[in-house]
Amino acid sequence: MVVRVLVRGTFASALALVIVAAGLVLSVEPARAQNGFRVTYDVDRTRPDRARVTGRVVNERSEDVFEVNMTAEALDAKGKVLAKGIAYVDARIARGDSRTFSMSVPTVAGTSDFRVVVSSFRVGMAPQGP
C-alpha cells in the first residue's frame, strides 16, 4: 500500500511538473509577440502620479495584424516590473504600416526605466469583398 502511495505521489509530482512547464511555455508568448514589430517610444515623467508613454509601432511582418495591444512597464534597477499600462492600438495594421499609441503608467517609487512591447495581436488575412 505504501508503494502505491509513493507511485501515485511520483505520478502527481510528474503531472505537476508538466503543468508548470506548460505554464512557463505559455507565459513566454508575449516575448514572442515582438517578432516582426519595431517599437519606438518616449516617456514623459513630468506628472507626479503618472508617466505618459507615447510612441509608434511598425508592422514589419509579412502579413497584416489585427487587434493590436501594447503594454508599457515601469521597471526598477533590477528589471522587476513595478507598474503597467495597456493600450489598444488598432483593429488592423497592414504589413509595412505603422500606428501611434499613448498610455499612462502609474508612477512608482524606484522606477528607473520603462519597457514597451506588443503584448497581443492576431494575424490573418484582410477581409475580402464580394
69-85 pLDDT tens trace:
999 999 999 999 999 99
Domain residue spans of the chain = 1-32, 37-123
8 Å CB contact between 53 and 72: yes
Query: What CATH number does domain 37-123 carry, 1.10.3720.10, 3.40.50.10320, 2.60.40.10, 3.40.50.150?
Result: 2.60.40.10
85-95 pLDDT tens trace:
999 999 999 99
8 Å CB contact between 71 and 84: yes
pTM exceeds 0.75: no
pLDDT category at 102 given cuts 50, 70, 90 is very high
pLDDT category at 124 given cuts 50, 70, 90 is confident
